[in-house]
């Protein structure tokens, strides 16, 4: 609309000048023509400027759309990384809980193994003694067992006393037939 007015004003001015006078008309016509040429050049420049602005606007819109697409892609990537980080955190927490449970159970298991080992160590001599008492023994084994038991319970044991000459116990069938053998009467070699 502004361009139409700018073109319209010089045309009207030229018509008015032609009506006013010829001499002056020629000079005014020339002036109007120069003015029209200048106006046409300005119109061309304005059109070029509008075309450049339109091109710039299109490029700006395209760049904005591309930037938005890149931003959306980056947001998706960040969300994917967050999901992966969350999954790894959950796995780490699960592993931490598992280790904590093992740490609580390990001392309990160790104490149970120690207790079972102690009970077995205590039962082993009892089982050995029970086995020896239940096993059928001949007279020689019975005689040696009685001598050892009497030696262990006596106030002055002969076998465990430290002396310069050790005592030797020999088997004498005549003594074995007696009900109770005297450990001091073990035979001639003992004296």
Take residue 36 and report the two structure tokens written for it: 């029209």
CA distances (Å), 156 to each of 58, 152, 159, 174, 186, in order?
121, 9, 9, 26, 16
Cα–Cα–Cα angle for 179, 181, 186, rounded to 5 degrees: 150
Helix axes 2-20, 23-134, angle to 10 degrees: 170
Task: Report CA dihedral (130, 134, 138, 141) to the nearest 10 degrees.
Answer: 0
Q: Which two tokens stand for residue 191?
A: 């004296």
- Label residue 176 by pLDDT band (50, 70, 90): low
pLDDT of residue 47: 94
Q: What is the span of the domain harbouring residue 81?
A: 2-135
**pLDDT of amino acid 52:** 95
Q: Let me know whether 103 and 30 are in one domain.
A: yes
First to last CA, the chain: 152
pLDDT at 115: 95
The predicted pLDDT at position 82 comes to: 95
Answer yes or no: do 101 and 167 share one domain: no
**pLDDT above 70 (res 170):** no
Inform me whether the pLDDT recorded for 161 exceeds 60: no
Same domain, 124 and 143: no
Across the range 113-128, mean pLDDT stands at 91
Note whether 79 and 144 are same-domain residues.
Answer: no
In this structure, the answer to whether residues 120 and 158 fall within a common structural domain is: no
14 and 35 fall within a common domain = yes
85 and 113 within one domain: yes
Task: Clarify whether residues 85 and 125 are in a common domain.
Answer: yes
Instruction: Taking residues 63-72, report their average pLDDT.
Output: 95
Would you state the pLDDT for residue 77? 95
pLDDT at 126: 87
- Using CA atoms, how far residue 23 sits from 20, 27, 29, 34, 131, in Å, is 9, 7, 10, 17, 156
Average pLDDT, the chain: 80
Q: Are residues 117 and 145 in the same domain?
A: no
> Which pLDDT belongs to residue 55?
95
The percentage of the chain sitting over the pLDDT mark of 90, rounded to a whole number, equals 42
Q: How far is CA 25 from CA 30, 34, 66, 146, 148, in A?
A: 8, 14, 60, 165, 162
- The backbone region for 169, taken as left when phi is positive above 0, alpha when psi lies in -120 to 50, beta otherwise, is beta
Determine contact, residues 118/125, Cβ cutoff 8 Å: no
Q: How far is CA 189 from the centre of its chain?
A: 79
| Residues 86 and 173 occupy one common structural domain | no
């Amino acid at each position: 609309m502004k361009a139409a007015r700018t073109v319209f004003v010089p045309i009207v001015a030229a018509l008015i000048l032609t009506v006013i006078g010829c001499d002056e008309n020629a000079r005014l016509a020339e002036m109007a023509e120069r003015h029209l040429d200048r106006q046409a050049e300005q119109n061309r420049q304005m059109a070029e400027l509008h075309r450049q602005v339109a091109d710039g606007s299109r490029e700006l819109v395209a760049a904005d759309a591309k930037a938005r697409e890149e931003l959306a892609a980056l947001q998706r990537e960040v969300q994917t990384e967050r999901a992966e980080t969350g999954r790894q955190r959950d796995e780490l927490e699960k592993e931490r809980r598992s280790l904590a449970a093992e740490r609580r159970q390990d001392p309990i298991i160790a104490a149970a193994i120690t207790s079972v080992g102690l009970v077995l160590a205590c039962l082993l001599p009892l089982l050995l003694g029970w086995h020896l008492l239940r096993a059928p023994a001949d007279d020689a084994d019975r005689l040696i067992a009685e001598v050892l038991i009497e030696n262990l319970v006596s106030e002055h044991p002969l076998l465990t006393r430290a002396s310069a000459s050790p005592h030797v116990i020999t088997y004498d069938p005549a003594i074995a037939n007696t009900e109770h053998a005297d450990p001091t009467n073990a035979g001639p070699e003992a004296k």
